[in-house]
Copies of this chain bind each other. A is one copy, B any other.
Amino acid sequence: MITSTANAQVKELIKLMKKSRVREEAGVFLVEGPRMAGELLEDPAWQDRIERVYLSESYAARHAEETEDISRKCRMEIMADAVFAHVSDTKTPQGIMVVVKRCEYDLEDILGNETGESHVIVLDNLQDPGNLGTIFRTAEAAGVTGILLSRDCVDIYNPKVIRSTMGAVFRLPFLYVDDLPGTIGELKQAGITTYAAHLEGKRSYDQENYLKGTAFLIGNEGNGLRDKVAACADCRIRIPMQGKAESLNAAVAAAVLMFEVSRQRRN
């Protein structure tokens, strides 16, 4: 059992928890809590990617059978409760944390099985962890095939983002790209119509037909899409707004667009 916060694994975990760069160099991410960790442990594809499972002493004592089962399937360590709390990213640590190898996706994964049915969300410099998590969660429910992110978006592997995806991050393909305009060009070559969500869009989002391959470009919370990204789109659309509202939250705007696709394709 790990009983000291000076332990090398503990120090490494804290770096992985706090530093995006360290996570990326190691090619892993951290998942906390019984619900999200349980999902990885029960999914054969993800189980193979688990590098190590950490349990708090009291969690292991409360869940003897599960602990036994985990120790057979994965490399596992028990930590004194105080050490676990020291590592945990949450105020009330739930006693289970998993280090997992990342899954790498490519553009084909993002497009889904049939590019005629692709439904892609493209995020340009999105910064808020809660928004990114909510967009993943919503996207899975709306039947999005994959998510593209500019390299300067917030890190999806940020522990707060992971939690707020409610597991969608394990199931929805995504890809960070250096050259977002270039990648949007590839979408267009694949026959996908690209729509920029833009306050100055001339056409209302619900006047378009999304039955064929569709991608929405969503911009930064404060500044919207960068000009060079918006310029790539086939069409600028807006969500009509009443009152004195000047804009919508980025995750809300994305949700309204994604569920309009879902609605049209269902009907």
Binding site for B on A (CB under 8 A): 130, 134, 137-138, 140-143, 166-168, 171-172, 204, 206, 239-249, 251-252, 255-256, 259-260, 262-263, 266-267
Contacts and interface: CB of A to CB of B under 8 A. Distances in A.
A260 B266 CA distance: 15
A141 B263 contact: no
A242 B142 contact: yes
A243 B206 contact: no
Contact of A252 (B134, B168, B242, B263): B134
A99 B21 CA distance: 44
Contacts of A239: 141, 259
B242 A143 contact: yes
A259 B241 CA distance: 10
A267 B206 contact: yes
A259 B244 CA distance: 16
Contacts of A134: 249, 252
A142 B246 CA distance: 12
Given A141-B243, A252-B252, 14 more contacts: A130-B130, A137-B245, A137-B252, A138-B248, A138-B249, A140-B242, A140-B245, A166-B245, A167-B244, A240-B266, A248-B255, A249-B251, A255-B256, A256-B256
B255 A140 contact: no
A141 B248 contact: yes
B256 A143 contact: no
A130 B141 CA distance: 21
